[in-house]
């Protein structure tokens, strides 16, 4: 079977082998593919693996040999899954491969904002401690997490992993979730969405991007937050109204934000969050630890092998919709 990987570089810039996938068919791997190159590169492909290269209805209908699309990520909104299903093309994703890595990044942002270890280390390197008249100094408020309220919006795999870290730090954990109280892990209290924005010291997003969650953090909800509050987003960029967040930060309505995702990636130069005070942006790398990418690599091959064996797993579309 002819396999094409369209944008392999992001998940595997060369530090991981493609051996498992290559053992399953005639495999061509491209580091990157422009939209206008998709049809030519996939014309003979029976299976395509893609991370961010999108497949709309027109592209799917233009590739008659295509039988399988493997998304090299958890989110699969880049694929028109209905169009794929009508053609009986199996679409799979890779769930839960980066849970602990993303939870780790959440607290990397929180700890950066509350203690600024890197910045203080740089101040020491510049000689500011050596020349200081006191035995210590700090340039930003030092904030203890114990006893602080953290509100987790979405309590799936990542949300629960974040909750467990927060519990270990003796934080008070609240969650906006569809889970009933009896199903909540010990140490987590259910809360309404606006209650989380009003009462929590830290709000962190772990929900999918849908019509309902787009701009969930809008001008009105940001105005509810404490002036000392911290906003964290490692989920999807459009969950936050970026201009509203920029205004809230510049006007000191909230204290700080840490985000790993933006509404457009890479961002446009005029994105308001790029120059705002107390906004710390990482370039969508929460998922990108070596260990998480190794799991992604392995699961992508396992998904395809299961498809070849006639027992597909991690399928996100229902076939035979015609």
* pLDDT given for residue 322 in this prediction: 39
CA 283-285-287 angle, 5° bins: 155
The last residue of one of the domains, among 263, 281, 299, is 281
* pLDDT given for residue 288 in this prediction: 96
Report yes or no on 314 lying in a domain: no
Report yes or no on 313 lying in a domain: no
Residues 173 and 50 in one domain: no
Report yes or no on 38 lying in a domain: yes
Instruction: Based on the residue annotation, tell me whether 125 is a catalytic residue of this protein.
Output: no
Helix (H) or strand (E) holding 219: helix 219-224
Residues 65 and 116 in one domain: no
Among the options 128, 265, 277, 291, which is catalytic? 265
Instruction: Based on the residue annotation, tell me whether 206 is a catalytic residue of this protein.
Output: no
Report yes or no on 317 lying in a domain: no
* Closest by Cα among 311, 315, 310, 304 to 21: 304
Residue 79 belongs to domain spanning: 2-97+290-308
In the DSSP assignment, the letter for residue 43 is T
Among the options 236, 242, 293, 295, which is catalytic? 236
Instruction: Based on the residue annotation, tell me whether 215 is a catalytic residue of this protein.
Output: no
Domain count, the chain: 2
Report yes or no on 297 lying in a domain: yes
Environment class of residue 252 by beta-carbon count within 10 Å: exposed (0-12), middle (13-18) or buried (19+)?
exposed
Look at the block and give the residue holding tokens 């039988």: 67
Residues 137 and 274 in one domain: yes
Residues 276 and 295 in one domain: no
* pLDDT given for residue 197 in this prediction: 98
Look at the block and give the residue holding tokens 């944008």: 7
Strand partners, 150: 173, 202
Residues 113 and 15 in one domain: no
Report yes or no on 28 lying in a domain: yes
Residues 22 and 62 in one domain: yes
Report yes or no on 295 lying in a domain: yes
Residues 109 and 222 in one domain: yes
Residues 134 and 264 in one domain: yes
Report yes or no on 176 lying in a domain: yes
* pLDDT given for residue 320 in this prediction: 57
Residues 194 and 296 in one domain: no
Per-residue confidence in pLDDT tens, the chain, 322 aa = 999 999 999 999 999 999 999 999 999 999 999 999 999 999 999 999 999 999 999 999 999 999 999 999 998 989 999 999 999 999 999 999 999 999 999 999 999 999 999 999 999 999 999 999 999 999 999 999 999 999 999 999 999 999 999 999 999 999 999 999 888 999 999 999 999 999 999 999 999 889 999 999 999 999 999 999 999 999 999 999 999 999 999 999 999 999 999 999 999 999 999 999 999 999 999 999 999 999 999 999 999 999 999 999 999 997 754 3
Residues 183 and 52 in one domain: no
Among the options 43, 120, 214, 284, which is catalytic? 284
**Cβ-based neighbours of 82, under 8 Å, separated by 6 or more:** 317, 321
Residues 207 and 75 in one domain: no
The CATH number given to whatever domain includes residue 90 is 3.40.50.720
Residue 251, Cβ neighbours under 10 Å: how many? 12
Residues 132 and 276 in one domain: yes
If you compute the radius of gyration of the chain from its CA atoms, what whole number of angstroms results?
22
């Amino acid at each position: 079977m002819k396999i094409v990987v369209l944008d392999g570089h992001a998940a595997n810039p060369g530090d991981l082998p493609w051996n498992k996938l290559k053992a399953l068919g005639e495999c061509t791997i491209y580091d990157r593919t422009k939209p206008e190159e998709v049809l030519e590169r996939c014309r003979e492909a029976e299976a395509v693996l893609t991370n961010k290269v999108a497949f709309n209805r027109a592209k799917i209908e233009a590739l008659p040999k295509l039988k399988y699309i493997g998304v090299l990520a958890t989110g699969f909104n880049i694929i028109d899954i209905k169009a794929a299903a009508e053609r009986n093309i199996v679409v799979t994703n890779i769930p839960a491969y980066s849970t602990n890595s993303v939870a780790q990044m959440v607290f990397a942002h929180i700890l950066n904002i509350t203690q600024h270890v890197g910045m203080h280390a740089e101040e020491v390197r510049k000689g500011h401690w050596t020349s200081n008249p006191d035995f210590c100094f700090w340039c930003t408020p030092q904030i203890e997490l114990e006893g602080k309220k953290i509100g987790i919006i979405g309590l799936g795999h990542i949300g629960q992993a974040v909750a467990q870290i927060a519990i270990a730090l003796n934080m008070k954990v609240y969650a906006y979730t569809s889970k009933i109280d009896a199903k909540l892990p010990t140490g987590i209290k259910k809360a309404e969405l606006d209650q989380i924005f009003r009462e929590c010291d830290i709000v962190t997003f772990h929900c999918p991007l849908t019509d309902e969650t787009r701009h969930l953090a809008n001008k009105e909800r940001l105005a509810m937050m404490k002036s000392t509050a911290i906003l964290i987003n490692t989920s999807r960029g459009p969950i936050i109204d970026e201009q509203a967040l920029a205004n809230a930060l510049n006007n000191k309505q909230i204290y700080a934000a840490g985000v790993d995702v933006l509404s457009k990636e890479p961002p446009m130069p005029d994105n308001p969050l790029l120059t705002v005070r107390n906004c710390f942006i990482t370039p969508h790398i929460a998922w990108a630890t070596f260990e998480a990418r190794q799991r992604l690599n392995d699961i992508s091959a396992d998904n395809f092998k299961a498809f070849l064996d006639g027992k597909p797993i991690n399928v996100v579309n229902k076939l035979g919709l015609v």
